[in-house]
Structure 1
Amino acid sequence: MAIEINFELSDADLAHFKSMMDKVISKTSHYSESEILTKAQQLVDEMEKSELPEFVRTRMASLATLIDAVQDKEWQIPEEERKDIIASLAYFSEPEDVVPDHIPGLGYIDDAIMIELVLQDMSLDLKAYSEFCSFRATEESRRGEDAKVDRESWLAGTRAQIRSNMRRQRQGRKSRLFSRIM
């Protein structure tokens, strides 16, 4: 027999989780990028082996995609965006959890909330990377092996276009937010 539990986090709740994230990130500033990526990947691997509720599993997959984006040499993520993602992933390199991970069904709830906060901040980056991966897979199958010579130029053009769209969307978000504040 399964039980479904729904809850809503208020702005104050989200602010609390965000401040927790900021504290952990400041504590992890001595970690190298490599350590942060390794520890975040270890969490993803550990979560994949667990029986996770669906709401955690879907967020975990997005976290894995962010890790992939940073490590994908063909994506060539700009340094500023790379730093933003690494800072967001730093939370997951700290072993202390609000809810211990070993508690069945609930152990990853705090991780899911933190992943959701990261995804809200990084949603445009995640979307842009996903678009790039889709283009790359489609184009590789369409172009065939003999067209690999010019591969870097079509990847570069696609990266530039996707990032330009992402930055325009980011500016649009900021403009809408600013107009609501005024």
Structure 2
Amino acid sequence: MPIEISFELSDADLAHFRTMMQNVIAKSSHADEQEVIRKARALVLEMEQAELPEFVRTRMTSLALLIDAVQDAEWQVPEEEKQAIILSLAYFSEPEDVVPDHIPGLGYIDDAIMIELVLQDLSLDLKAYREFCSFRATEEARRGDNAKVDRESWLEGTRTQLRASMRRNRKSAKPRLLSRIM
């Protein structure tokens, strides 16, 4: 019979995770971008094959989407935003975990907490990318055989609109984790 356990992280707990992220950023500031992405994607694949609790699985899916966003040539992530995503992914390429991943049910809890913090920080980026992917799929289906005609124009228009909206929303949002520790 499954049980549900919930917990709340205090400001001190969150400070601990921010410190962990700071340490990773300090070590990763000159890390190879492709290596960080490769290791983060490897963690996602490892997590997909593991028996994960649902709270970890849903966050892992969003982490995979962030990796996709940074690698999507049509989304064209601006360099500053790309670096924020890469720095956040650097944590997941670290071999040392607070809770070893092989412990059933709990092994990915520290990863899930950090993913949640990163997702809160990059939620607007993720939302804009999801909207872009949805628009792209809908527009390609609608256009059918004419999809190649003026494709870059409609992609550029959508990218511009979504990023402008994301930046407006970001101005009214709480300070980002990465902006506080970089």
TM-score range, shorter chain: over 0.9
User: Is 1:90 paired with 2:90?
Assistant: yes
The corresponding residue for 1:103 is 103
Q: CA RMSD in A?
A: 1.2
TM-score by length of 2: 0.93
1:146: Cα distance to partner? Answer: 2.0
Partner of 1:101, secondary structure, is coil
Aligned partner of residue 2 in structure 1, secondary structure? coil
- Asked if 1 retains the 8 angstrom alpha-carbon contact of 2:69 and 2:77, the reply is yes
Instruction: Determine if contact 1:28/1:94 at 8 Å carries over to the other structure.
Output: no
Superposition deviation, residue 81 in structure 1: 0.4
Partner of 1:54: 54
Query: d(CA) in 2 for partners of 1:22 and 1:147?
Result: 44
- Counterpart-to-counterpart distance in 1, 2:168 and 2:139: 25
Equivalent in the alignment of 2:136:
136
- CA displacement at 1:174 relative to structure 2: 5.2
Q: Distance in 2 between matches of 1:121 and 1:48?
A: 23
Gap runs ≥5 in structure 1 = 176-182
Measure the CA separation in 1 of the matches of 2:147 and 2:81: 31
CA contact (8 A) 1:28 1:93 kept: no
Normalised by the length of structure 1, the TM-score is 0.93
Structure 2 contact 28–87 (Cα < 8 Å) conserved: no
Letter aligned with residue 66 of structure 1 = L
Q: What is the CA–CA distance in structure 1 between the aligned matches of 2:147 and 2:47, rounded to whole Å?
A: 39
Amino acid at match of 1:68: D
1:17 paired to 2:55 = no
Query: Alignment identity in percent?
Result: 76
